[in-house]
Chains A and B, each alone.
Chain A
Amino acid sequence: MRILATALLLILASLSAAMAQQLPGNKETIEIGLSTDTIAITSGFRGTDLTVFGALDNADPLIQRQGRYDIVVILQGPERDFVVRRKDRFFGVWINAESVSFQHIPASYSLASTRNLQDIAVPKTFAQLSLGVNNIFYEPMPDGFGSSASLREFTKELPRLKLKQNLYSQRPGDVQFLSSTLFRATLSLPANVPVGKHQARAFLFRNGEFLRESSTSLNIVKAGLEYRIYKAAHENSLLYGLFAVFLAVITGWMGRLMFRKD
Chain B
Amino acid sequence: MGSGSELGIYLPIAEISVNIFVLFGMGAAVGFLSGMFGVGGGFLITPLLIFYNIPPAVAVATGANQVIASSFTGALSHFKRGTLDVKLGTLLVIGGVVGAGVGIYVFVLLRELGQLDLIVSLLYVIFLSTIGGLMLLESVRSMRRTRAGQLASLKKPGQHNWVHRLPFKMRFRASKIYVSIIPILALGAAIGFLSSIMGVGGGFIMVPAMIYLLKVPTNVVIGTSLYQIVFVTAFTTVMQATTNQSVDIVLAFLLMSGGVIGAQYGTRIGQKLRGEQLRALLATLVLAVGLRLAIELFVTPDDLYSIAIALAAPGAS
Instruction: Report A's interface with B, CB cutoff 8 A.
Output: 1-3, 43-44, 46, 80-88, 92-96, 99, 101-103, 141-144, 154, 157-158, 160-162, 164-165, 192, 226-227, 229-230, 233-234, 237-238, 240-245, 247-249, 251-256, 259
Q: State whether the Cβ of B256 lies closer than 8 Å to any Cβ in chain A.
A: yes
Q: Determine the distance from Cα of A192 to Cα of B245 in the docked complex, in whole angstroms.
A: 19
Q: Determine the distance from Cα of A7 to Cα of B105 in the docked complex, in whole angstroms.
A: 44
One of A85, A103, A241, A249 near B240 (C-beta < 8 A)? A241
Give the chain B neighbours of A102 by CB distance below 8 A. Answer: 310
**Contact of A252 with B73 at beta-carbon distance under 8 Å, contacts A84-B305, A241-B241, A245-B234 already known:** yes
| Interface mask (B214-257 → A, CB under 8 Å = 1, otherwise 0) | 00000000000000000000100111111001010110110011
Q: Are B305 and A83 in contact (CB under 8 A)?
A: no
Instruction: Report B's interface with A, CB cutoff 8 A.
Output: 1-2, 5, 8, 10-13, 15, 17, 65-66, 68-73, 76, 113-115, 118, 234, 237-242, 245, 247, 249-250, 252-253, 256-257, 259-261, 263-264, 297-301, 303-310, 313-315
Q: Are B238 and A245 in contact (CB under 8 A)?
A: yes
**Contact of A43 with B10 at beta-carbon distance under 8 Å, contacts A237-B241, A238-B241, A241-B241 already known:** yes
One of B68, B250, B305, B315 near A86 (C-beta < 8 A)? B305
Q: Give 5 nearest A-B pairs by CB, closest first.
A: A255-B260, A241-B241, A43-B10, A241-B238, A248-B68
Q: Are A248 and B66 in contact (CB under 8 A)?
A: yes
Q: Are A244 and B247 in contact (CB under 8 A)?
A: yes
**Contact of A82 with B307 at beta-carbon distance under 8 Å, contacts A245-B234, A251-B253 already known:** yes
**Contact of A251 with B307 at beta-carbon distance under 8 Å, contacts A3-B1, A229-B250 already known:** no
A242-B238, A252-B260 given; name 12 further pairs at CB < 8 Å: A85-B307, A96-B114, A99-B114, A102-B310, A144-B315, A226-B250, A238-B241, A241-B247, A244-B247, A248-B234, A251-B260, A255-B263
Q: Determine the distance from Cα of A2 to Cα of B10 in the docked complex, in whole angstroms.
A: 12
| A205 nearest CB across to chain B (Å) | 31
One of B234, B252, B261, B308 near A255 (C-beta < 8 A)? B261
Q: Are A93 and B247 in contact (CB under 8 A)?
A: no
Give the chain B neighbours of A141 by CB distance below 8 A. Answer: 310, 313-315
Q: Are A83 and B264 in contact (CB under 8 A)?
A: no
18 A-B residue pairs with CB within 8 Å: A43-B10, A46-B2, A80-B310, A81-B309, A82-B307, A84-B306, A87-B301, A96-B115, A142-B315, A143-B314, A165-B307, A226-B10, A229-B250, A247-B252, A253-B72, A254-B260, A255-B73, A259-B261
| A257 nearest CB across to chain B (Å) | 9
Q: Name, among B12, B237, B261, B301, the residue most crowded by chain A CB atoms within 10 Å (CB to CB).
A: B12
| B262 nearest CB across to chain A (Å) | 10
**Contact of A252 with B245 at beta-carbon distance under 8 Å, contacts A2-B2, A85-B114, A238-B238 already known:** no
| B229 nearest CB across to chain A (Å) | 12
| B9 nearest CB across to chain A (Å) | 8
Give the chain B neighbours of A93 by CB distance below 8 A. Answer: 118, 297-298
Give the chain A neighbours of B259 by CB distance below 8 A. Answer: 255
Give the chain B neighbours of A226 by CB distance below 8 A. Answer: 10-12, 250
Q: Are A82 and B1 in contact (CB under 8 A)?
A: no
One of B1, B76, B256, B300 near A251 (C-beta < 8 A)? B256
One of B13, B69, B241, B313 near A230 (C-beta < 8 A)? B13
Q: Are A95 and B237 in contact (CB under 8 A)?
A: no
| A109 nearest CB across to chain B (Å) | 13
Q: Determine the distance from Cα of A42 to Cα of B67 in the docked complex, in whole angstroms.
A: 30
Q: Are B68 and A249 in contact (CB under 8 A)?
A: yes
| A158 nearest CB across to chain B (Å) | 7
Give the chain B neighbours of A234 by CB distance below 8 A. Answer: 245
Q: Determine the distance from Cα of A158 to Cα of B17 in the docked complex, in whole angstroms.
A: 25
**Contact of A249 with B72 at beta-carbon distance under 8 Å, contacts A3-B1, A241-B238 already known:** yes
Chain B residue at minimum C-beta to C-beta distance from A88: B304
Q: Are A44 and B305 in contact (CB under 8 A)?
A: no
Q: Are A240 and B260 in contact (CB under 8 A)?
A: no
Q: Are B12 and A229 in contact (CB under 8 A)?
A: yes
Q: Name, among B8, B114, B257, the residue most crowded by chain A CB atoms within 10 Å (CB to CB).
A: B114
One of A83, A161, A251, A256 near B314 (C-beta < 8 A)? A83
